[in-house]
Structure 1
Amino acid sequence: MNAVLEFFCVSHTFRSRGREVQALRDVSLSLSEGEVFGFVGPNGAGKSTTIKVMLDIINDYQGQVRIYGVDARRADARQPLAFVPESPALYEQFTPLEILRMGLSMYGIKRKDAGAWCMHWLERFSVAQNAKRRIRELSKGNVQRVALAHAMAVQPKLLVLDEPLSGLDPVGRKDVVDILTEYKKQGGAIFFTSHVLHDVERIADRFGFINKGELLTVRSPRELAAERVDQMLVRFNAEQQLLSSCKQLRDMEFECELSQAELPAFIAQLNNVGGHLLTIKPSVSLETVFFNILEQASR
């Protein structure tokens, strides 16, 4: 497959309050056509800085970034790219329909059916009913939908999304996931960040974990599953938590992750306190792996 996005040993340092901060440290990654790359990390890890580098908002970095083989510092490198920030700053006095038509114009896209084409994407993101209302009259979730429709209307080859499901209700999240999945099947590439690890698991082909500017690991769902094959997710009823690692789901119902070797002793303990085992299933949790990686990095 052709490489859509490539980072080669990218580092970036900036000054804050009189001291130097290493925002990125030798970050190398790649993204291919038809692939979704989920970029995960805590606040301040370097996710937004990485996006700013590929968008040439930050260009005083060391290393090299290419988009379809073109140096990211060149303006034409971003022609096949569309970006949706976490909090889109759309012109409040314009309508969604005007925003999308303006996007086509800025990308130099001339279509005889421009109005119908823009309405098609507003319908796909369930905001067609607000097509002629001012942006300032819309909710945060609907503004997010308009921004996503705006990005898709220009038919990018690479979609860069910063927290794309932020502010959306469950129905909106499902709609967006379905559209992104279809886009991927058609050969589109997606690079996105998210704090909601469940969303990353649903969409991404590979996950990149970044912390303190350093890309700690890149893994696929298959690698993740193989790594967690010994771990089981146990749900049970009891009057007490039993283990400090257990998470309370509701009154007297808990959930915890255990290795297969730990299960017999735990079940015996549960029986001793009069508890009841509800379910046991294999655990393939991106969240657990994420925190394990952070813990190992801190050591």
Structure 2
Amino acid sequence: MTVPAITIEGLEKHYPRRWRAAPVSALGGISLSVEPGEAFGFIGANGAGKTTTIKILMGLIQATRGNASLFGTAVHVPDARLGLGYVPENPYLYDYLTPLEILSMGMRLHRLRVNDPKAHCMTWLERLGLEHVASKAVRSFSKGMTQRVAIAQALCIKPRLLILDEPLSGLDPIGRRDVVDILSEYKRGGGTLFLTSHVLHDVERLADRFGLIHKGLLRAVRAPAELTGDQETVMVRTFGQVAVDGMREDFSGRWIGEVPRGDLWNRLQALRDAGHVVLEVRPSLSLEVAFMRAVGES
């Protein structure tokens, strides 16, 4: 029987307040399981409980109630985090160290042995575009460069599990694309991902399942197919000069319409006959819409 990579059972976290006020509830009793090799997206607004959950998994804070384990080992046991790569939203790195020193330190902490440690570290610095600053102190780096050092350190240890809290924060569009490509490669190699991100498009590309959390409660856990399976319309965007029934003009020359699935081919033929150029055809229900729907139902 395969042991889940992450197991969370009835997890609660309450923060006390002064003057006999009721405690603030950050987590209201969430339960979920992430299997080895799975990519799980943890989606929610600011203050929903995402970072609190991750801090409990990392052993940074203790839960008020409930249990959590990594590969069957309780999170309060330090060995649970061997082989665990972690990137917080705002990484704090010793700024007097260099990227090469930070990656080397991470390998030693995780007891990783390779034939040529320096070459192994340099490989990851090159993948993240940091080879030219490998020997410079981190204190001179921008937020985006610091984020890339943290991601390189997390990947350098050959992790069996990656926990990423807003890993694309501070990265430019090229940096985001590169990191998403690297994470996709890690996933294809059998790695396990647990990530949060406000860039929902990137989460949709990576995740096998999504957990929608709101006000400390897990409102839904869905697979991508479940987000669109019950949706009977498709969104079509086109460019053209002639009006077509069922399409509304978004702005000059640009048209948009919600088309029933069964009528899609007829609508596309009508658009073609009218001289339109199709810009986009996609399911109407995106991850963002699904989250807003879950929040509304709650």
TM value normalised by structure 1? 0.85
How far has the Cα of 1:12 moved from its partner? Answer: 1.5
| 3-state SS of 2:146 partner | helix
How far has the Cα of 1:280 moved from its partner? Answer: 6.8
CA RMSD of aligned residues (A): 2.8
Once residues 157 and 68 of structure 1 are traced to their aligned partners in structure 2, the CA distance between those partners, rounded to angstroms, is: 10
Could you tell me which of 100, 104, 107 is aligned with 1:104?
107
Once residues 217 and 99 of structure 2 are traced to their aligned partners in structure 1, the CA distance between those partners, rounded to angstroms, is: 38
1:233 paired to 2:240 = no
CA contact (8 A) 1:232 1:280 kept: no
Amino acid at match of 1:235: R
CA contact (8 A) 2:125 2:152 kept: yes
Amino acid at match of 1:208: G
- Segment of structure 1 superposing worse, 61-70 or 11-20: 11-20
Structural mapping, 1:76-91, within 5 Å = 76-91=79-94
| 3-state SS of 2:92 partner | coil
How far has the Cα of 1:294 moved from its partner? Answer: 1.2
- Segment of structure 1 superposing worse, 129-138 or 101-110: 101-110
User: Is there any run of 5+ residues in structure 1 with no aligned partner, and where?
Assistant: 239-245, 268-275
1:9 paired to 2:34 = no
**1:242 match:** none
**2:272 match:** none
Change in Cα spacing, 1:16 to 1:227, as seen in structure 2 (3 Å) is farther
Change in Cα spacing, 1:295 to 1:128, as seen in structure 2 (3 Å) is same
| 3-state SS of 1:19 partner | coil
Once residues 279 and 188 of structure 1 are traced to their aligned partners in structure 2, the CA distance between those partners, rounded to angstroms, is: 35
Change in Cα spacing, 1:251 to 1:166, as seen in structure 2 (3 Å) is farther
Amino acid at match of 2:186: Y
1:178-233 deviation line (CA, Å, top 9, x unaligned):
111111122210100011110110100000000000000000111112132x1221
User: Is there any run of 5+ residues in structure 2 with no aligned partner, and where?
Assistant: 241-247, 268-275
Once residues 278 and 118 of structure 2 are traced to their aligned partners in structure 1, the CA distance between those partners, rounded to angstroms, is: 55
Runs of 4+ aligned structure 1 residues displaced above 6 Å come to none
1:43-89 deviation line (CA, Å, top 9, x unaligned):
10000011011112121421111111111111111113121001111
**1:270 match:** none
Once residues 193 and 281 of structure 2 are traced to their aligned partners in structure 1, the CA distance between those partners, rounded to angstroms, is: 31
CA contact (8 A) 2:11 2:63 kept: no
Structural mapping, 1:2-41, within 5 Å = 2-16=3-17, 18-41=21-44
**1:290 match:** 291
**2:245 match:** none
CA contact (8 A) 2:83 2:110 kept: no
Change in Cα spacing, 1:143 to 1:9, as seen in structure 2 (3 Å) is same
Query: Percent identity among equivalent residues?
Result: 43
**1:167 match:** 170
How far has the Cα of 1:16 moved from its partner? Answer: 3.9
CA contact (8 A) 1:231 1:282 kept: no
How far has the Cα of 1:255 moved from its partner? Answer: 4.7
